Structure 1
Amino acid sequence: MTYIQAKIKLTLFAVLIAWGFTGTAQTVSDFEKDFKITLDSPITNPMASRLIMDHYNLLLWFYTSDTNARAYPLIEIRNEEIYQNNIAGLFANQGQSVNTLACLLAASTFDTSKISDVKKVLINSSYKDILAAKCLLVLGDKDLGPIVKCIIANNFSESVQYLTIDFLNVEQSLLEKFALDSLFSSNQEIQYLAVKAMAEIPPKPTNEVLLRQAVVKFDTVMKGWAIAALAKYNANNILPLIKDYLSNDQLQQVSWRALAASTSVEDMDYISQIASTKSEDPYFLDALLNSYNDVHLRNWLGIVKRGDLPKDYFINISGNTKLKEDKYFKDISEIISNSKNEMQAYALMRYFDDRKDQASLHFLNTCLTHSFEGIREQAEILLKK
């Protein structure tokens, strides 16, 4: 289960508890039976909520962590009388939960003819109904405007983060059209989503030009997002664009990251020149460490070997797959053996977390007599794995 799936499951569980319901039958036939019973009398919000929660694996299938969950699990009832004779009434109902049930039914049956009805539900909620917006995405609506309005109406809160992720993973041609149409919007919230969308689109020279223009035109906060997108593009010849921001408190971190992502000669030479001196800028050091460029990683290792790191600089290589390659074994082993900073040497022991080769095992054995207690203890733990 991914982190996002786990969060969704917890969120759904919280909703179940808050509404006081637990799941029961989860088959299509049982749903039809319960749906018919529910419709035997005028449907109310509590009745609709009960039906949703009792059959959440069918109606909220897009949020389940079950890997065996079937997409559009109620599609087989789309042409049946129980659906055709009641779906319009559910949308016309004044009850919010009843409308939610209608949206979920349309999404679970993949009834694209109800897209306009789902949009009305979203509009009537002042664009705050996250489930209605999600249903539009599930139904493959090509109009991203309502989704954008929903994200903004919910103030980019945690409750809407999954919708934002889904939005950024829609069909790339749709995402690109939104980004190009909205990048220079007068609405900064739309600008932000447009830049995020640009970062998810495969790099194109024309899009890179627009992002460079955005860096020049945007205010300080928004500049950072545009620079981040350029970093993801591995844009070259970036130094002239971001040089003035390398000392800006709000922009220096992302600016160093963008510069380290470039492979153009001028950009790389600039970084190597700074790396040859004693730089204590943690953002510069992190940019080197997290780069996929071998030159920058070796520059970082050289700084560490010289003992030029600030004493309180925290090294984190837990997710750094590049630095964990075999070719850096010698450098990292030497640093751990000779380091005068226990905290930093200890952090580099993560390099050996999953290594079982003879050279690594031999080195770990030598660490059993290291002068730093933390190194000795970690070596012992790793050898016992």
Structure 2
Amino acid sequence: MSACPGPTRDQVRRAPKALLHDHLDGGLRPRTVLELAREVGHELPVTLAGDDAADAAALGRWFRESADSGSLERYLETFAHTVGVMQTREALARVAREAVEDLAADGVVYAELRWAPEQHVEAGLSLDETVAAVQEGVDAGVEAARAAGSPVVVRQLLTAMRHQARSQEIAELAVAWRDRGVAGFDIAGAEAGYPPTRHLDAFEYLQRENAHFTIHAGEAFGLPSIWQAIQWCGADRLGHGVRIVDDVEVAPDGSVTLGRLAAYVRDNRIPLEMCPASNLQTGAAASLAEHPIGLLTRLRFRVTVNTDNRLMSGTSMTDEMTSLVETFGYGLEDLRWFTVNALKSAFLPFDERLALIEQVVKPGYAALLAEQA
């Protein structure tokens, strides 16, 4: 915990932030869902009143309330209504552009947007065409954000769905696009019954190609999921990873003992892509005060802070970090630590990561700390 006063929400918003775990199909603006649904005839789960502002507000509430169920499976069902309206080049480009604009406005200076191309081919687009459409939107969003003064850098992460059999195809797609805006690969979806080892061919291919990948693990499922992701599949990072706390024993006197797996994760600085608000919705933690991020931060695991799905959780990086400030008493130095952790862990070349840390993050936090002096 920082010795300095906690930052205000405005200071958190202005602080440079880095985001590693943000789903493109989980971050749409409610009004965009409404307008795209109208264009393609997608039936929405709310009764529309004919007033776009009111309808968008009602739709946003539906996403948040439906996701707030305590079940990962129920949480994932909400994506039928975002993926359903993201089936054309124009829709994909629009959603990507707006995501970049929203993140930049929230003070995010580096982001990796993950999404599953295989879920966006229902209207006839090829996998390659879906990636091109998203990159078109990312480029447009970055151009607009930089014109407004943001130094934001954004990359794609291509996701394969763990309950499908297209991971090798998506891995090859990620490698084909890695010099054109794609930073790496991911698998996502319900963990129970779909272990990452089912996709070993894809992970071994990525390793041979010197490509980066992260794996959703240790969110709804426990230590075996994390162990497989790291020791069998070779993940560079862990998507969520909250259940690593199951291998950490805290004695009544406050002393801590790490199990073999937890010690390995900490010793090897394996990044944890932690998403507090989302975890509360899916039941991975009962409250923010009880969320493993507090203990794991104190033990100096490589913790990063992320949004997961901004629409479903009604969140932003400013919201996530402000909540941590209010719950754990973190100061600007702690937020800087989370941000530097994320940039150290980014799927970006070393010199580019270093430039963001030294030229953007450190000066940005120095200026904010000067305001508190």
Larger proportion of strand:
2
Answer whether TM exceeds 0.5 for this pair.
no
- TM-score in terms of structure 2 length: 0.30
- TM-score in terms of structure 1 length: 0.30
Bigger RCO of structures 1 and 2 (CA < 8 A, at least 6 apart): 2
Q: Which has the larger radius of gyration?
A: 1
Larger proportion of helix:
1
